[in-house]
Amino acid sequence: MKRSGALNKRYLSDPDAVDHTQDKFEQDKPQILSKVDTVIVKDSWNKFLALDEMLIEMFFERLILDAPELVDQFGAALDQAPSEFLGLIDMAVRALDPTTERTLREAYHAAPGAAAARGRALADFGAFFSTYGLTAEQWRAAEATFVWAMGKAPYLEDFERENLARGPDSALARFFATHVAAPMLAHAAAEERALAPGVVAEMQAGAEAMLAHPQDAGIFFYQSCFEAIPRCCAISAPPTWTCCRAI
């Protein structure tokens, strides 16, 4: 399914380029949000919080309709995914302008529904979504669905609805592309680079050696453990183990 959005502008020439190099993220950034954009995003999101759990479920159900392959991708984590989306977006919104998070100024509390999210930091959310293999195309779908769901938030002002009507050019679409989707794609790309063919081959060779000699592998593991934490040796290790004689 083809999607046009703020994220699409960034990767239009090569949608798969996001997986290649971190330099791509630095050289080809989406539009930076202005201060007015930031106010629109934060005010709109604050109104979203009034019905956050219901609206994030609407967002996810619509996303599944647009990208049905996500059902198989998330598998057993399908019910957990909405909370992770909510936690990620909420964290990204509150990071836009930390000064507005201070008490006695303009406090944006964490989304109530985000309490069910397992992620507590950007890296946690990156690990979750990269584990289930969300692609750039699926994040584009999520961007369009996010703008749609934000239109269902209560109490929106006329100027906020007018901004939402701009679709991929709206402040919320550009926010999602820059501060939600892009970091998740960057995390996935970094993980992919970390699993270079040489690293994978070395891991495979080690696993095969362990399977071929399980007893030797077990002895090596426990000896290494006891050498690293000597106090455990006196409690658990047999007296014949040479690594424990000096303790």
Mapped to the 3 state alphabet, what secondary structure does 105-120 carry? CCCCCCCHHHHHCCCC
CA dihedral 82, 62, 181, 42 (to 10 degrees): -80
Please report the pLDDT score of residue 119 as a whole number.
Answer: 93
Please report the pLDDT score of residue 103 as a whole number.
Answer: 60
Pick the CATH number of 6-194 from 1.10.490, 1.10.405, 3.40.50, 1.10.150: 1.10.490
Element (H, E) at 161: helix 158-164
Provide the residue ranges of all domains of the chain, joining segments of one domain with +: 6-194, 197-244
Please report the pLDDT score of residue 56 as a whole number.
Answer: 98
Please report the pLDDT score of residue 228 as a whole number.
Answer: 82
What are the helix (H) ranges across 80-157? 81-94, 122-131, 136-150
Check residue 29 and report its DSSP letter.
Answer: P
Per residue of the chain (247 residues), what is the pLDDT tens digit?
Answer: 334 344 444 433 343 444 443 444 344 445 689 999 999 999 999 999 999 999 999 999 999 999 999 999 999 999 999 999 999 999 999 999 888 777 654 555 678 888 899 999 999 999 999 999 999 999 999 999 999 999 999 999 999 999 999 999 999 999 999 999 999 999 999 988 877 777 778 878 888 888 888 888 888 888 887 788 777 666 655 555 555 545 4
Please report the pLDDT score of residue 232 as a whole number.
Answer: 66
Please report the pLDDT score of residue 234 as a whole number.
Answer: 61
Nearest to 67 by CA among 145, 9, 158: 145
Given a contact cutoff of 8 angstroms between Cβ atoms, the answer to whether 41 and 172 are in contact is yes
Nearest to 113 by CA among 176, 55, 154, 58: 55
